[in-house]
Amino acid sequence: MKLEKYEDKSRKKRKIVIISISVIVLISISFLLYKTFASLTESAEFPMMKGQVDYFGNSDVYFAFYQGDKKLEEMPKKDNEENLVFDHAECDNGASIEWNKEEWAPLVKKLKQAKTKCSLYFKKSFEKELVKCGQSGISATECIKNNANLDTVNLMTDDTNEANIRYVGASPNNFIDIGDKDGDGNPILWRIIGVMNNITNLDNGGRRESLLKIIRAESIGDYSWDSSSSGINTGHGVNEWSEADVMKLLNPNTVYSGTPAIGGSLYWNRGSGNCYNARNEGNSTCDFTSSGLSETAKNKIVKVRWNTGTAGETYDSSNGYGKITAKYMYESEQSSHNGKEQCENTKGVECNDEISRKTTWDGYVGLMYPSDYGYAVGGETRDVCLERSMTYYNVNCYENDWLFKGSDVWTMIPVPNSTFAYFAFRLRSAGNIYNEYCSNLHWIMPVVYITPSTKIIGGTGEIDSPFIAQ
């Protein structure tokens, strides 16, 4: 009786051992089969529809959807009301996503193992937002203001009292077509500097408004800022913008104090003739019949009051202009300082002109300010660059500034000096702001303000898809 009970227990133990071994063998075989299958499907593509992977069901790939840092409950639908579009994806385990824009679905590629997670990121579509602005009758100025709330990388508010909105960085998408065409009918593009606040609109009774400020995307040529006869400031010109030769070249109804036949309003009128390009009233032929302002473009340009003040400190040969930061220059441009007030040699031959100095000017076409250049810097070093004197900009500043052209470009602001009255600020090819003889020739890049009624009706701001102004 006892023997039978022992034999029963022994048989039960053998059965448990056999079952356990069988289970272990089955698990091992399953694992080997899975690893083999996974390695064979390393480069497979898996279409996803309605948030689920079609090939394996929803157990092998998991999806999460985001708008920035905000997690979404589900994948946004195509043509959704929020104007969300696919931005990028991040997957673990070496997998990747290829987005199919037409099907509004991702392809999961290089899926090596189960339990893979892919995070899909969506962002606002600027293009749709801009088209909406135009269709709803909102001005170009308001469109850019709205986009500043969406794009905090390429559009930033400066630290001035006016809190202007500016395009920043090495290559923001800020190209705009205002209707300018060359002789062959091709668009002449401009770029948006930003939305400038508290600008005096003289075409609207002197009302202070927020206006879009733009600059020609390319130079219209190399010319003198100003030139003069050899008996006036030794022939190097006079650093007063309201009387400058380049101002008269760019604007309507201008007459030179020297030879009337040279340069007056040629750019504004799409004319040809002679322009100043050297000391002692040196000049040569110039032709703006294809590159000058078209009538369509001029209808979008507003007459405003420009600030033409300058730095309060004089040039020090040992230190240059040591504190010419973007903010310092912005405040200086609005100051009562001018390019001659500190010239001690008032009866000498290098500042003997008799032209009165002004710190504002009413007109249509100007040049960029030194502060425009300073505030256009972007990238990770933006805060450092804004604290740095623009006379000593380094590569981390100017290579992250879209207004840097690698060539010498005139600004419209005079330079104070204790000896000379013929210096103006220029952006150097080395990337810094510095003084220059007014008679020397450098790039001219016209700058204008756009009428408040101008709308943006399309485009993304890219060079191949500029904003379309109407």
Picking from 249-258, 353-362, 375-384, which range would have the lowest pLDDT averaged per residue?
A: 249-258
Picking from 37-41, 112-116, 461-465, 466-470, which range would have the lowest pLDDT averaged per residue?
A: 37-41
Q: Which pLDDT score, from 0 to 100, does residue 110 have?
A: 87
Is residue 113 pLDDT above 60, yes or no?
A: yes
pLDDT digits (tens, 9 = 90+) for 153-192: 899 999 999 999 999 999 999 999 999 999 899 999 999 9
Structure tokens at 469: 């102004």
**Secondary structure of 303-329 as H, E, C letters:** CEEEECCCCCCCCECCCECCCCCHHHH
Please count the CA atoms within 13 angstroms of the CA of 273 that sit on its side-chain side: 18
| pLDDT tier, 427 (very low <50, low <70, confident <90, very high otherwise) | very high
Number of Cβ within 10 Å of residue 14's Cβ equals: 10
Q: Which pLDDT score, from 0 to 100, does residue 43 have?
A: 36
| pLDDT tier, 4 (very low <50, low <70, confident <90, very high otherwise) | very low
Q: How far is Cα 450 from Cα 469, in angstroms, rounded to an integer?
A: 10
Is residue 438 pLDDT above 50, yes or no?
A: yes
Is residue 71 pLDDT above 80, yes or no?
A: yes
Is residue 69 pLDDT above 90, yes or no?
A: no
Q: Which pLDDT score, from 0 to 100, does residue 34 have?
A: 45
Structure tokens at 212: 């879009």
Per-residue exposure over 322-340, b if at least 16 CB sit within 10 Å of its own CB, e if not: ebbbbbbbbbbbbeebbbb
Residues 6 or more apart from 126 whose CB is under 8 A from it? 147, 150, 151, 173, 460, 461
Helix (H) or strand (E) holding 40: helix 2-40
| pLDDT tier, 127 (very low <50, low <70, confident <90, very high otherwise) | confident
Q: Which pLDDT score, from 0 to 100, does residue 152 have?
A: 84
223: left (phi over 0), alpha (psi -120 to 50) or beta: beta
Q: How far is Cα 375 from Cα 163, in angstroms, rounded to an integer?
A: 12
β-pair partners for 276 = 283
What are the angstrom distances between the C-alpha of 101 and each of 54, 86, 106, 172, 315? Answer: 18, 8, 8, 24, 57
Q: How far is Cα 82 from Cα 462, in angstroms, rounded to an integer?
A: 22
User: What is the percentage of the chain residues whose pLDDT exceeds 70?
Assistant: 83
User: What is the percentage of the chain residues whose pLDDT exceeds 90?
Assistant: 66
Q: Pairing state of beta strands 304-307 and 360-363?
A: antiparallel
β-pair partners for 52 = 49
Is residue 326 pLDDT above 70, yes or no?
A: yes
Q: How far is Cα 438 from Cα 237, in angstroms, rounded to an integer?
A: 6
Number of Cβ within 10 Å of residue 120's Cβ equals: 22
Average confidence (pLDDT) over 136-140: 84
Is residue 262 pLDDT above 70, yes or no?
A: yes
pLDDT digits (tens, 9 = 90+) for 371-413: 999 999 999 999 999 999 999 899 999 999 999 999 999 999 9
Is residue 48 pLDDT above 90, yes or no?
A: no
Q: Please state at what angle helix 140-148 crosses helix 126-135, rounded to 10 degrees.
A: 150
Average confidence (pLDDT) over 76-93: 91
Average confidence (pLDDT) over 194-204: 98
299 DSSP assignment: T
Q: Which pLDDT score, from 0 to 100, does residue 33 have?
A: 43
| pLDDT tier, 263 (very low <50, low <70, confident <90, very high otherwise) | confident
Q: Which pLDDT score, from 0 to 100, does residue 11 have?
A: 60
* Cβ 113 vs Cβ 91: under 8 Å: no
Q: What's the CA dihedral at 165, 166, 171, 173 to 10 degrees?
A: 40
β-pair partners for 465 = 462
